[in-house]
Chains A and B, each alone.
Chain A
Amino acid sequence: MINSINLIILPIISFILTFLLTPLIMKFMIKIGKTGIDIHKLNKPMIPDMGGLSIILGILISAIVMYMLNELTAIVIASLLAALIAGIIGLLDDIFNLGGILKPVLTIFAFLPIWLMGTYSPHPALPFIPGTRLFIVYSLLLPFSIAVTANAVNMLDVINGATPLTTIPVFIALAVSGVLLGGRGIEVISMVAVASLIAFYYYNKYPARTFMGNAGDFFIGGLIGALAVTGRLEIVGIVALMPQIMNGFYILSSMKRLFEHRSVKDKPVKLREDGLLEASDNPKAPISLLRLLLMKSPEHEKDLATSFFILSLVSCVLAIITAYLTTIRLWGV
């Protein structure tokens, strides 16, 4: 049963915390020299990095308030711990640059809290098959659940505002699907994440005043993967993350190896003299979602961010329909 008051109060707390913490983190990052170049701008401005730490703090402090309000369940604790491990790996990558192979390998270990606390069910629901018996296959795939989502969210963070715009609808889809399927206990934390991302978007939208950083990307991606597993919404999570999965899948399929984006010489997108972005016609460059969006004509970064948001909205509508289809039985299965 969802406590309606907590569903309103906790997201508000999360929003205020993230909104107030982000400028402080931005100032700190400028002070310690942790800035990055905004490569899609003509004047190449230096922007404070790792602003996503405010989202991690905002959500974790809200979780402490959830604990005081008796809203914190084992499912939410396991999901937050898994996301936190992913976030710490992202933070280490921000500081030490872990490389294109070590980073995804380390994120595999983020599933440990879910596994140790036993907050998963090896009977995932698929469309028309409400309860599958995939104990061995599920157990083999479980370690990759957090690694795939964390890295997929990180790989799509290529333009200003990309992560908030593409993950807010995913959390809403998880919350709505959870309610549709009888309340899986992930609705409140999903809305806390939505509120935090909306607050962060104010600073990350075009033209960005701060970057998310790998810590924020990995935490958000990890939280999505963890909530999908613990909330028994695996297939909903996969469909809702279709833009991120498409992006990661196309990049890896076209490059045929794991790699660090900084090491790619043939960039998929070029900045023109008029400030518009255009797709590279270099066959060696990876096929990314951003490059696909530019296949018809050069575009402005702001319009591309809006397109990302629309793609995410569409995939989330499909995810909610998929959630409904998991309740239907075909041939009595």
Chain B
Amino acid sequence: MIAKATGDIIIIMFLSWLMLIGVSIVMAFLLQELPKSTLLSIIRVFIGIVLIGLWLVTWFKFVSFYFWRKIKRNYMKRSKIL
């Protein structure tokens, strides 16, 4: 037997992995399209860091929102009934 929420976590993991691959594709595109000067190298790294930061924030906000929605539905409702 496994926990009922295992499938939900697998979907969250898969979505965050897809986002990581998306960030990599954008970075690969930037590496190809932008000229290779020092200033633009710094800009590329900065864009990369911003993208990874956005990815982490989105990931946490999404999971936190999903978690509290499930907790309210499955635990708080049951507490009221009991």
Verify B74–A297 contact, CB threshold 8 A: yes
A:279-324 near B, CB below 8 Å: 279, 281, 287, 289, 291-297, 299-300, 302-304, 306-307, 310-311, 314-315, 318, 322
Count of chain A residues with a beta carbon within 8 Å of a chain B beta carbon: 46
Q: List residues of chain B with CB within 8 A of the CB of A306.
A: 1-3
Verify A249–B13 contact, CB threshold 8 A: no
Q: List residues of chain A with CB within 8 A of the CB of B12.
A: 246
Q: List residues of chain A with CB within 8 A of the CB of B54.
A: none
Q: List residues of chain B with CB within 8 A of the CB of A294.
A: 3, 5
B45: CB under 8 A from chain A?
yes
Q: List residues of chain B with CB within 8 A of the CB of A333.
A: 28, 31-32
A15 to B55, CA, bound (A): 40
Beyond A242-B17, A253-B60, A333-B31, is A129–B24 a contact (Cβ under 8 Å)?
A: yes
A233 to B42, CA, bound (A): 24
A295 to B79, CA, bound (A): 14
Q: List residues of chain B with CB within 8 A of the CB of A295.
A: 5, 8, 67, 70-71, 74
Verify A318–B13 contact, CB threshold 8 A: yes
Verify A246–B27 contact, CB threshold 8 A: no
Q: List residues of chain B with CB within 8 A of the CB of A182.
A: none
A217: CB under 8 A from chain B?
no
A5: CB under 8 A from chain B?
no
Indicate with 1 or 0, residue by residue over A225-256, a CB within 8 angstroms of chain B CB atoms: 00000000000000100110010011001100
Indicate with 1 or 0, residue by residue over B59-71, a CB within 8 angstroms of chain A CB atoms: 1100110010011
Dominant SS at the B interface?
helix
B56: CB under 8 A from chain A?
yes
Count of chain B residues with a beta carbon within 8 Å of a chain A beta carbon: 38
| Most chain B CB atoms below 10 A, which of A128, A250, A292 | A292
Q: Quick one: which of B16, B31, B33 contacts A242, CB cutoff 8 A?
A: B16
B82: CB under 8 A from chain A?
no
Verify A134–B5 contact, CB threshold 8 A: no
A292 to B63, CA, bound (A): 9
A295 to B63, CA, bound (A): 11
Verify B20–A292 contact, CB threshold 8 A: no
Where the two chains meet, the residues of A that have a C-beta atom closer than 8 Å to any C-beta of B are 126-129, 132-134, 137, 239, 242-243, 246, 249-250, 253-254, 278-279, 281, 287, 289, 291-297, 299-300, 302-304, 306-307, 310-311, 314-315, 318, 322, 325, 330-333
Counting from the closest, the 6 A-B pairs by CB-CB distance are A331-B32, A127-B24, A295-B70, A296-B4, A307-B3, A293-B3
9 A-B residue pairings within 8 Å (CB atoms): A246-B13, A246-B63, A254-B64, A293-B3, A295-B74, A299-B4, A314-B14, A330-B25, A331-B32
